[in-house]
Amino acid sequence: MRLTKALPSILGATLLATLSACGGDAAADPMALIQKGDYAAAIAAIEPQLKTVEKGTDAHKDLVIGYTEALSAENPGKAKDFFLKTMTEQKDFIDPADVKYVVNRMAKQGHLSEAIDVMDRGKKTWPEDETIVVVLGELQKAVESSGDKGALDKLKGLGYL
């Protein structure tokens, strides 16, 4: 799966269909809420769906990615833990493109330490994958330009700088 600028609309359509199919409030489209910056409402809309949608499906993956993105804005540590737990529990479920998307969203939100942890897990899981190599480079640039000494030290400590 290749993530593009169309991802939010694709995720939104899938999540809307999932909400409708599961009896949720179709007006509470989580991706639309995320795009508006209403992360708390997106989290509230996604959490019940995570409990009912079949694990391992495309709908489940869309919910996981959307939930991680929304949760990252509200509680980046919890978002990181949720995403990494999902990677561990469902090894064939998350792929390098998903890691790249999550890392980029966390970094864009200013949560560099959490983005580093997700990238590090991705790098350890797929050490030679081109997508992971690209996201590592993007994250290194973001950390260097941020002036965040803690994030810079973390990248150095992990051997990425």
Burial 54-92 (b: 16+ CB within 10 A, else e): eeeeebbbbbbbbbbbbbbbebbeebbebbbebbeeeee
| Predicted TM-score (pTM) of this structure | 0.81
Q: Looking at the predicted structure, is the pLDDT value of residue 27 above 80?
A: no
Kindly report, residue by residue over 30-67, the tens digit of the pLDDT: 889 999 999 999 999 999 999 999 988 999 999 999 99
